[in-house]
């Protein structure tokens, strides 16, 4: 899929979509749209008219705008606003018409005053205005409709329309760029914009509008795609892209491959470019792409004197000693105002640079801002602090391996990290300059917290002593019951279990569910009723601190198609993981073992789609891309509703060693390994795509790929993927289907799954789709063409003795 890092924002307004009195796409001389009318493009996709914006809660005024919105979706979704920076306040009467000089204008009917106007230079009184099928409002001469006098595509707001141009008109100097909204309800020009690199390099940039600071780039256009967006090379595109550079223009544009698809490309108030597709089934927009992926990569997203934390909500928090400057703007996701000091620094009133009562407050486990820190020649942290105190503009310092770094004035882009208890080159402690009063107040709060904690702990201990007496009696009676005590009930987050408790919960690891590449899995119970699955890891070489840190990082990854990590145990050399229990076991049990319930085709298709969604999340939506490296039916678990959940993701981190060494010793996974993995080439997420394709073939056939199959024309044993690829080309899907389905299969879906599988197992990883593209194909949002037979499989098929080894 050619996914573009393009721009716009979904806005919600308090009014409903304006009603139309006539379905027309053109305004002629003498005609006018009033506040209740609208133009509609011939294809019905876009509408233009007046709409009412919802202002801040503190404002009593009503703001009116003239704009273009998506007419075929149920959610009011603005795409272009004429008067974004000049709202029309408190009115019930407006007109949109052609003026005498041929320009489009918004008029106040009572005063005949012009509120907004187009800027066509070739003025004439024979113009007409038309809303095109592409969403472009065009002003042209009715006698020569090919002559464009003015168009909305030359003045975009926050949406990049298909067919529009992003770039420079070298003749007129017009620069078409996309600018975010001020906040969720105010369409005024916001803090971020998206444009061609003004330095002349053929790449797209995301920049902070006020400071012109780039924080993301597309990479240079190489004639086919932008270097940092390899998704544009997909064999299953939904967009076709073009980059033009000649004497008159330099621009980037795109078009939809499937005209009936409704998409939005936006630059959000978050500073991220996002791509959405409208899904009729859910009646909602679904985001399929965002850049940058980490919210905290956006420049100054939280404003001054804040910390930004990825993968949590809210992302932004004020530093200690500061408070939100504008809570109302903050709630509308406009954080540009940042946070302000609770108490002003002493040095602002005390002009002496040799004495100040200001103090420093430590902010640990952060990635310090890289915005031009001044490096001073201080030999110790004390000297570094004094350098900062000697200048009233100094707001923070840090001292470490790189020496003494000083920051002046506003402190931007401080990123909060998870304290790992290990040496981490990205972690720093910065010392924030505060008034002595605020520092003392923070220390008192800490002291009060400690005192409260100690007091509470004392009361808790007294109660616990009484409880222990009861528990000792209870435990003697239940010593061999094999269940975990209630002290774990109600805990949130990742639970640290004791080894003895897990040993009891699993009846000394006797109820074995299975054995995988990383160890054995046992069934257990918490508090008599809550089933758990306990994985006892083999060969985990990490120390306790490192293991705990990695468990926490894996534990925050949540998705409906990923197995939920409940807790862990780290006792000496013992390493165990505790997962939610999947009552319907793993996929291989149902596909390959005759004594289990046969999965019908609907369940199989849902499993295929669910696994694709889970992998797409690991590859594309986590802060760091996670490559599973061991996708196979044994690692696809099924819950009570047969919803698929991927197990064993993130195991490379938990084992603490080179994952390639792990895979060389894996048992039962050779049939799922991509060619580049076996050849020793550095791996990418495409190894998971290959393994997923192999799993799809097993879902179709209900048999192991590593088993042999007999051709209908001869008695030669043929590797099933070879057999499947040929039968797909011959149009014979029925012969590939699991006979246990008894023909009760949607053949169109079966063919679609087989096509996806054969694309996934292509020899060259660049020929394989991404998992995000696979999801869209299986959701039937994009079409897929017939795949070629992979060269390696073709070679196998050419041999009379081609069998799976």
Domain of 521, CATH number, reads 3.30.200.20
Please check whether residues 532 and 425 belong to one and the same domain.
Answer: no
CA distance 580 to 511: 16
> For residue 349, is pLDDT > 50?
yes
User: What's the pLDDT band for 652 if we cut at 50, 70, 90?
Assistant: low
Please check whether residues 174 and 269 belong to one and the same domain.
Answer: yes
- Domain-embedded: residue 4: no
The least confident of 83-92, 463-472, 707-716 is: 707-716
- Domain-embedded: residue 15: no
Please check whether residues 107 and 199 belong to one and the same domain.
Answer: yes
- What per-residue confidence (pLDDT) applies to 491? 33
> For residue 234, is pLDDT > 80?
no
Distances (CA, A) of 482 to 479, 528, 585: 7, 9, 22
> For residue 548, is pLDDT > 70?
yes
User: CATH number for the domain including 724?
Assistant: 1.10.510.10
Distances (CA, A) of 173 to 139, 169, 205, 249, 432: 20, 5, 19, 9, 45
Q: What is the DSSP string of 59-117?
A: ----EEEEEEEESSSSS--EEEETTTTSPEES-S--EEEE-TTS-EEEEETTTTEEEEE
> For residue 12, is pLDDT > 50?
no
Q: 319-328, 475-484, 572-581, 794-803: which has the highest mean pLDDT?
A: 319-328
The count of other CB atoms within 10 Å of the CB of residue 481 is 13
Q: 91-95, 475-479, 676-680: which has the highest mean pLDDT?
A: 91-95
Characterize 412-427 residue by residue with b for buried, 16 or more Cβ atoms within 10 angstroms of its Cβ, and e for exposed. Answer: bbbbbbeebeeeeeeb
- What per-residue confidence (pLDDT) applies to 644? 94
- What per-residue confidence (pLDDT) applies to 668? 34
Please check whether residues 244 and 211 belong to one and the same domain.
Answer: yes
The count of other CB atoms within 10 Å of the CB of residue 528 is 11
Q: How many domains does the chain have?
A: 5
Using an 8 Å Cβ cutoff, are 338 and 305 in contact? yes
The count of other CB atoms within 10 Å of the CB of residue 92 is 7
Share of the chain above pLDDT 90, in %: 43
Query: Which residue among 241, 267, 293 closes a domain?
Result: 293
Does 437 carry a binding-site annotation? no
User: What's the pLDDT band for 466 if we cut at 50, 70, 90?
Assistant: low
- Of 574 and 609, which is predicted with more confidence? 609
Please check whether residues 601 and 741 belong to one and the same domain.
Answer: yes
Please check whether residues 698 and 564 belong to one and the same domain.
Answer: no
The count of other CB atoms within 10 Å of the CB of residue 458 is 10
CA distance 176 to 168: 6
Catalytic residue at 630? yes
Distances (CA, A) of 751 to 130, 631, 693, 706: 44, 22, 13, 21
Burial class of residue 30 (count of CB atoms within 10 Å of its CB; 0-12, 13-18, 19+):
exposed
- What per-residue confidence (pLDDT) applies to 153? 97
User: CATH number for the domain including 80?
Assistant: 2.90.10.10
The count of other CB atoms within 10 Å of the CB of residue 523 is 18
Write out pLDDT tens, residues 116-153: 999 887 666 789 999 999 999 999 988 887 889 999 99
- What per-residue confidence (pLDDT) applies to 496? 87
Please check whether residues 53 and 154 belong to one and the same domain.
Answer: yes
Please check whether residues 573 and 540 belong to one and the same domain.
Answer: yes
Write out pLDDT tens, residues 550-602: 787 777 788 889 998 888 898 888 889 999 899 888 999 899 876 567 899 99
Size of the chain in residues: 805
Q: What is the DSSP string of 279-294?
A: ETTTTEEEEEEEESSS
User: What's the pLDDT band for 377 if we cut at 50, 70, 90?
Assistant: confident
- Domain-embedded: residue 19: no
> For residue 394, is pLDDT > 50?
yes
- What per-residue confidence (pLDDT) applies to 664? 38
Write out pLDDT tens, residues 88-117: 987 878 999 998 888 999 998 888 889 999
Using an 8 Å Cβ cutoff, are 84 and 68 in contact? no
Write out pLDDT tens, residues 39-80: 999 999 999 999 988 666 556 678 899 999 999 998 899 999
Mean pLDDT of 297-319: 89
- Of 552 and 362, which is predicted with more confidence? 362
- Domain-embedded: residue 85: yes
The least confident of 92-101, 432-441, 452-461, 579-588 is: 452-461
Please check whether residues 544 and 398 belong to one and the same domain.
Answer: no
> For residue 4, is pLDDT > 50?
no
- What per-residue confidence (pLDDT) applies to 490? 32
- Domain-embedded: residue 18: no
- Please give the residue range of the domain that contains residue 86: 26-293
Question: Residue 502: in which H helix or E strand, if any?
Answer: helix 499-505
User: What's the pLDDT band for 452 if we cut at 50, 70, 90?
Assistant: low
Write out pLDDT tens, residues 736-748: 999 999 899 999 9
Share of the chain above pLDDT 70, in %: 80
> For residue 207, is pLDDT > 50?
yes
Write out pLDDT tens, residues 485-523: 433 333 336 788 899 889 889 988 888 888 776 788 999
- Domain-embedded: residue 615: yes
Write out pLDDT tens, residues 13-48: 333 333 334 569 999 988 999 998 999 999 999 999
Mean pLDDT of 436-447: 78
Q: Give the global pTM.
A: 0.57
- What per-residue confidence (pLDDT) applies to 533? 92
Q: What does the mean pLDDT of the chain come to?
A: 81
Query: Which residue among 531, 559, 580 closes a domain?
Result: 580
CA distance 658 to 664: 11
- Domain-embedded: residue 13: no
Please check whether residues 463 and 564 belong to one and the same domain.
Answer: no
Catalytic residue among 37, 630, 688, 738: 630
CA distance 141 to 147: 7
> For residue 205, is pLDDT > 90?
yes
- Domain-embedded: residue 6: no
Write out pLDDT tens, residues 719-739: 788 888 888 988 999 999 999
Q: Identify the bridge partners of residue 415 per DSSP, sorted by sequence position.
A: 308, 367
Query: Which residue among 561, 580, 599 closes a domain?
Result: 580
> For residue 371, is pLDDT > 50?
yes
Please check whether residues 733 and 696 belong to one and the same domain.
Answer: yes
- What per-residue confidence (pLDDT) applies to 283? 83
- Of 661 and 469, which is predicted with more confidence? 469
- What per-residue confidence (pLDDT) applies to 108? 85
Mean pLDDT of 420-434: 74
Please check whether residues 448 and 531 belong to one and the same domain.
Answer: no
Using an 8 Å Cβ cutoff, are 567 and 580 in contact? no
- What per-residue confidence (pLDDT) applies to 656? 44
Question: Residue 570: in which H helix or E strand, if any?
Answer: strand 565-571
> For residue 802, is pLDDT > 50?
no
- What per-residue confidence (pLDDT) applies to 202? 94
CA distance 137 to 150: 8
CA distance 493 to 498: 16
């Amino acid at each position: 899929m050619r996914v573009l890092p393009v721009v716009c924002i979904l806005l919600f307004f308090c009014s409903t979509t304006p009603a139309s009195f006539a379905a027309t796409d053109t305004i002629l001389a003498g005609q006018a749209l009033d506040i209740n009318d609208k133009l509609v493009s011939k294809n019905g996709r876009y509408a233009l008219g007046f709409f009412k914006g919802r202002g801040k809660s503190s404002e009593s005024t009503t703001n009116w705008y003239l704009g273009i919105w998506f007419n075929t979706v149920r959610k009011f979704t603005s795409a272009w606003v004429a008067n974004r920076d000049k709202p029309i306040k408190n009115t019930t009467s407006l007109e949109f018409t052609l003026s005498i000089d041929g320009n489009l204008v918004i008029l106040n009917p009572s005063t005949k005053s012009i509120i907004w106007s187009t800027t066509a230079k070739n003025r004439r009184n024979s113009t007409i205005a038309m809303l095109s099928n592409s969403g472009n409002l065009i002003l042209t001469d009715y006698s020569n409709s090919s002559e464009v006098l003015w168009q909305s595509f030359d003045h975009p707001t926050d949406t990049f329309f298909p067919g529009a141009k992003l770039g420079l008109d070298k003749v007129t100097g017009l620069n078409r760029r996309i600018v975010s909204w001020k906040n969720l309800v105010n369409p005024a020009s916001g803090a971020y914009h998206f444009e061609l690199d003004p330095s002349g390099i053929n790449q797209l940039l995301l920049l902070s509008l006020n400071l012109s600071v780039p924080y993301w780039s597309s990479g240079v256009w190489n004639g086919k795609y932008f270097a940092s967006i390899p998704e544009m090379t997909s064999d299953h595109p939904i967009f076709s892209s073009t980059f033009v550079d000649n004497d008159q223009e330099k621009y980037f544009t795109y078009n939809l491959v499937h005209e009936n698809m409704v998409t939005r490309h936006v630059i959000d108030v978050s500073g991220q470019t996002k791509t959405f597709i409208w899904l009729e089934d859910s009646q909602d927009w679904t985001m399929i792409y965002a850049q940058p992926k980490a919210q905290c990569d956006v420049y100054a997203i939280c404003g001054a004197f804040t910390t930004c934390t990825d993968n949590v909500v809210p992302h932004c928090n004020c530093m200690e000693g500061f408070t939100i400057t504008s809570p109302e703007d903050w709630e509308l996701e406009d954080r540009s105002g940042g946070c302000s000091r609770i108490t002003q620094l002493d040095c602002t009133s005390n002009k002496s640079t040799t004495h100040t009562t200001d103090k420093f407050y430590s902010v640990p486990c952060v990635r310090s801002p890289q915005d031009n820190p001044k490096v001073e020649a201080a030999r110790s942290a004390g000297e570094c602090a004094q350098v900062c105190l000697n200048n009233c503009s100094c707001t923070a310092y840090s001292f470490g391996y790189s020496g003494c770094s000083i920051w002046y004035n506003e402190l931007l882009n401080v990123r909060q990290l998870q304290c790992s208890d290990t040496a981490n080159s990205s972690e720093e402690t910065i010392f924030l300059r505060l008034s002595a009063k605020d520092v003392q107040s923070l220390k008192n709060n800490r002291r009060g917290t400690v005192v409260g904690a100690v007091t509470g702990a004392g009361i808790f201990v007294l109660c616990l002593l009484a409880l222990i007496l009861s528990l000792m009696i209870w435990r003697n009676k239940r010593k061999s019951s094999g269940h975990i005590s209630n002290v774990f009930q109600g805990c949130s987050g990742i639970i640290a279990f004791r080894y003895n408790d897990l040993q009891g919960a699993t009846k000394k690891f006797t109820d074995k569910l299975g054995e995988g590449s990383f160890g054995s899995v046992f069934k257990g119970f918490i508090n008599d009723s809550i089933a758990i699955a306990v994985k006892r890891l083999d060969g985990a070489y990490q120390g306790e601190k490192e293991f705990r840190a990695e468990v926490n990082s894996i534990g925050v990854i949540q998705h409906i198609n990923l197995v939920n990590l409940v807790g862990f145990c780290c006792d000496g050399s013992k390493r165990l993981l505790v997962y939610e229990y999947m009552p319907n076991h793993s996929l291989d049990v149902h596909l390959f073992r005759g004594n289990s319930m046969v999965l019908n085709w609907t369940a199989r298709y849902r499993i295929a789609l669910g696994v694709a969604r889970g992998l797409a999340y690991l590859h594309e939506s986590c802060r760091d891309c996670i490559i599973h490296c061991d996708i196979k039916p044994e690692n696809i678990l099924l819950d009570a509703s047969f919803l698929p959940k991927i197990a064993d993701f993130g195991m490379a981190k938990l084992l603490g060693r080179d994952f390639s060494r792990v895979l060389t010793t894996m048992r039962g996974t050779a049939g799922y390994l991509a060619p580049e993995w076996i050849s020793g080439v550095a791996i990418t997420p495409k190894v998971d795509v290959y393994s997923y394709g192999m799993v799809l073939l097993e879902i179709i056939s209900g048999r192991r790929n590593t088993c042999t199959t007999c051709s209908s024309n001869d008695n030669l044993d043929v590797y099933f993927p070879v057999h499947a690829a040929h039968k797909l080309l011959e149009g014979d899907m029925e012969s590939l289907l699991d006979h246990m389905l008894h023909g009760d299969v949607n053949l169109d879906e079966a063919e679609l799954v087989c096509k996806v599988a054969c694309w996934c197992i292509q020899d060259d990883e660049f020929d394989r789709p991404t998992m995000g593209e696979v999801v869209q194909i299986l959701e039937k949002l994009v079409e897929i063409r017939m795949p070629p037979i992979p060269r390696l499989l073709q070679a196998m098929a050419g041999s009379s003795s081609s069998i799976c080894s």
